[in-house]
Each structure stands twice: as C-alpha cells, then as structure tokens.
Amino acid sequence: MQLDAVTIDIGTTRPLVLLHSVDAAEMGAHPLDRVRIEDGTESMTGIVKRTDELVDRGTIGVTEPLRHVRGTVDVTLAGQPRSVRYVRKKLDDVELDADELETIVRDVHENRLSDVELGAYVSAIYANGLSLEETEHLTQAMTEVGQQLTWKGPVVADKHSIGGVAGDSVTPIVVSIVAETGLTMPKTSSRAVTSPAGTADVMEVFCDVEFSIDEIEAIVAETNGCLVWGGGVDLSPVDDEIIRAENPLSIDPPGQLIASVLSKKRSAGSTHVVIDVPYGEGAKVESLVDARKLADDVKRVGDHLDVDVTCAITHGTAPTGRGVGPVLEARDVLAVLEGDGPEPLRLKSIRLAEMLLDHCGVDASAADVLDSGRALERFRRIVAAQNGDSEVESDDLEPGEETTTVRADRSGIATRIDNRQLSDVARRAGAPLDARAGLVIHREAGEAVVAGDSLYTIHAEAAAKLEEANALADRLEPIRVRSKADALVERR
C-alpha cells in the first residue's frame, strides 16, 4: 500500500507509526503489528497504532525516530522480531542462551520492541529470574552495545551501590576522597529507578551531569574524577531503555541489576570496582544470605568481564543520611565534606573509600583525606569542571517551601525506620523530578521519643503534592514508635 508520510510528535522514543483504521484494516494490520516502510532508498520498520482522528486515510504518521521519512512510501506488513519469541520463552521460565539474549539486547537497542513487549521482558526477568549463565551472557551483550571509554592508567577505580537505602548518597564523597589520592575515578551514575534520588539527580543540584565523551575525558584529565550521568554518553544504552521500563513498576530484579551495573562499569573502562550491597528489613536486599549470594554473583560476573570486583555487605535497615531527595541529599553530602553532616553518612563514605583505595593498592587514609578538607577541595574542583558553582555551601541548599512535620502520637522508642516507606513518601512529594522535594528524618532507630516530638518533615514544591505525600504518610508508618515494653518484645 502506498501512503503519504507525515511527522507526528506524540512524545515517544519508539518507532511508532499511526495508520487510519480503514487503511490498517485493508492491510490487515493490528495494534502493535510491524509494518515495513520503503522510500526507495532504505527500508525501516514501524510499530502500528490505529487511529480514526490523528491521520487521514492514505496517510501514515511517523514519530520522532522515523522523522526522516518523507513523501510517498510503500507500506507492507512485517513479521515480529525474533526477540518477542524469546521474551515469551522467558515468561514461560525457559532459560535463554547467549544468542537469544544477544537478540533481545540488539532489538531493544534498535527500538524494535514496543513498550508492552519491553514491559513483558522486564516482568519475565522479575518473575522468573536469570541464571548466573544468563546474567553473564546478558551483561556481555549489553556491554558490547554502545560506546566505551578507555583510560591510560592500569587502574581505574569505581564504586556502585545496589541501592534500597534512603539518603545513601555516599558516592560524591567517595569519588572526592579517591580522586584526591591521585587515582582515576570517572564515575558514571544513573538517575533514580526506584529511589527518590540517584547519584546523577543529587549531583545535578550542584552542576551539569550530561557531557560528551570528549568532555568527560577533559574533566577527568583536570580533576582525576567526574560525577556524570551515564545515559548522556551512550554507555550500555540498552540499560537506560530497560530502566525506563522498570520505573513504572518500581522493580529492579537481581540478574538484570547485575547486568545493568557491570555493563556500565565495563563500558566506562573501570578496572577495580567496589559494590555496596546493603541488606536488612526495608532494603532492596532483605537478608544476609541473599546479600552474600548477590555479592558472589556480582564477583563471578565481574570475573567473566575481566573487571576486578569486591563487595561491601553493609547494614541497610535505616537511612544513611538525614535528607531524602536530590537537594536534601546534596545538602548532607556537602555538610559531610565540610566536616559536619550525618555521622552514618560520613562513616560509610570513609569505609567504602578505604576499601576502594586498598582494592586499588593505594596506601592512603580516607579519613585523613576527608577530615583535612582535601576531599572538599577536590569536590569543588569537580563541580567547577562540570560547570557548577564551586563556592556553594550546604546552608545555601534550600528544600521545597511546602512542608509538614509528622510528629509522634505516643511516647516510647523509635524501633524501626523504614527505608521503603520513607522513599515512597518522598517520591509522592515529588522527588526526584522536583529536586527540592523529599523529607528530612529527625530520629534514629533506638532513640527515645516523647509524644509530640518531630519524626520527619516532608518538603514539596507544590501544595497538591504535599497533600498527596501527607495522605500516604497517614496510611504508612515510616518511623515506628512503640512503648518501652513493646520495644523489648520486638527486640526478642
């Protein structure tokens, strides 16, 4: 069928085409079928959406990825990508081989899967998991797609956290310490997946995080390190597409998580990596047994990729910092670098930096580098190199002005601070898209509380979002207060 191509912006990164329902019926094209589009010079594939209003009969609407299609084109039905069959296999809990996983990765990269099919892939991995062999094959395939960074030195340091702990913004502090010792640490980070703030979201409070590879190389040459968004430089770009599918479901299945982390590290040119695996009630990994298994799997996949990985298994039962959300976590980061800030955040940053320095064979004290102010100066140099204000101080960072303080309705002891619930409330308040949204935690687990004491304060940029966060907080119990007698029973 010959149709006239017109460009239609419907805000999608997928190669969708819009067919009038009469033309689609005549062609036998159903929603999510594929059509082949030929303009005399090349052949392209589009995913069908049917409409009665957005395009006229005799016309095919092409979206942003196909915007170069012009004039009269030949449109015929095309078959499904092979990867759809492999997604169905995984939904049936059948183990996939290397070629099948490579095909899925290639089709994701080339935008051949619809959002529904990509969601089915993520759901299949979440429901049925990945074997270690599948994880190795998937990680390798994801690494080979997209750009890769290379560095001159034999040792390139890196650090990553599995996540699940509120206010756990240790990465900017660790990078500042490690880079100050002379090691190369080009840190590429993700934006938030299931949390109120990823490292890239926190750093964007201070400076730009999207750079080209040439710009990143210049920043690292000047400062020994960087803190940039990995998605801006096409490192393991399939990971970014999968994260986009995971976001609405707030899921991050272990096998895919390992592939995500290590494909990014390998693509970034990292040789020595410390992976933080927090565990505990409310964290992403809840038991010590699961944390150890995940750590073992990460190290084995790292060996497969020739990346030297060591894991830190840390307690994740309570938030690391006081702030949750981009601006509030940025404030904690800068306060620690300035010599103040939450003590758990300071201690964890020192521990992970010490592990990474030792792993890289560097004889230096992370605590000395931090306490001397040298890490702060290195951080300011990195911020300046990334087009930020190097003179900013922690007190300059103001959260959203719409606030509510949640108070204890009884006297007793704060027996539990729930990472997941705090993160849910912060996200409902608008974080991470609203950078100044989030919450500030006023209590620690085990602390005595008097009725009326403040437990945490919610910050939002809009009154409507504050109201939504308040409503969620009323249904949850992010900070659990129990009488002393009940607290003793809980500890038993």
Domains and CATH numbers, the chain: 2-78 (2.40.40.20), 82-129 (1.20.970.10), 157-395 (3.40.1030.10), 402-491 (3.90.1170.30)
Ramachandran angles phi, psi of 280, nearest 5°: 140, 170
Alpha-carbon span 50 to 31, nearest angstrom:
6
> Nearest CA to 353 among 374, 327, 332, 326?
374
pTM of the entire predicted model? 0.86
Structure tokens at 457: 């304060």
Supply the pLDDT for residue 100. 97
Ramachandran angles phi, psi of 291, nearest 5°: -65, -45
Ramachandran angles phi, psi of 75, nearest 5°: -125, 125
Buried b (16+ CB within 10 A) or exposed e, 132-151: eebbbbbbbbbbbbbebbeb
Alpha-carbon span 190 to 197, nearest angstrom:
10
One pLDDT digit (tens) per residue for the chain, 492 residues: 999 999 998 878 789 999 999 999 999 999 989 999 998 888 889 999 999 999 999 999 999 888 888 899 999 999 889 999 999 999 999 999 999 999 999 999 988 898 899 999 999 999 999 999 999 999 999 999 888 888 988 999 999 998 889 999 999 999 999 999 999 999 998 888 778 999 999 999 999 999 999 999 999 999 999 999 987 787 888 988 898 888 777 788 999 999 999 998 998 999 999 999 999 887 788 899 999 999 999 999 999 999 999 999 999 988 999 999 999 999 999 999 999 999 999 999 999 999 999 999 999 999 999 999 999 999 999 999 999 999 999 999 999 999 999 999 999 999 999 999 999 999 999 999 999 999 999 999 999 999 999 999 999 999 999 999 999 999 999 999 998 766 655 655
Q: How many helices (H) and strands (E) does the chain have?
A: 18, 18
Supply the pLDDT for residue 402. 98
Our measurement of the distance from residue 126's CA atom to the centroid of its chain's CA atoms, rounded to an integer in Å, reads: 16
Supply the pLDDT for residue 14. 84
Supply the pLDDT for residue 171. 96
Ramachandran angles phi, psi of 351, nearest 5°: -60, -45
Alpha-carbon span 44 to 7, nearest angstrom:
15
Structure tokens at 437: 């949204």
> Nearest CA to 356 among 295, 287, 271, 298?
271
Supply the pLDDT for residue 485. 67
DSSP 19-79: EEHHHHHHHTPPTT-EEEEE-SS-EEEEEEEEESSSS-TTEEEE-GGGTT--SEEEEEEEP
* Beta bridge pairs of residue 37: 44, 75
Alpha-carbon span 7 to 201, nearest angstrom:
33
**37, 44 in Cβ contact below 8 A?**
yes
SS3 (DSSP) at 436: coil
Helix axes 254-267, 237-246, angle to 10 degrees: 150
Residues 6+ apart with CB under 8 A from 291: 277, 278, 279, 285, 313
∠ CA 317-318-324, nearest 5°, is 135
* Beta bridge pairs of residue 140: none
Cis before residue 81, ω within 30 degrees of 0?
A: no
**285, 248 in Cβ contact below 8 A?**
no
Q: Where are the alpha helices (DSSP H) in 92-180?
A: 98-109, 115-128, 132-143, 171-180
Which residues form the catalytic set?
A: 252
> Nearest CA to 402 among 455, 477, 468, 454?
468
SS3 (DSSP) at 185: strand
The DSSP 8-state label assigned to residue 146 in this structure reads: B
Structure tokens at 49: 């959406």
Mean pLDDT of the chain: 93
For 392, the enclosing helix (H) or strand (E) is: none
The DSSP 8-state label assigned to residue 224 in this structure reads: S
> Nearest CA to 247 among 263, 231, 232, 233?
231
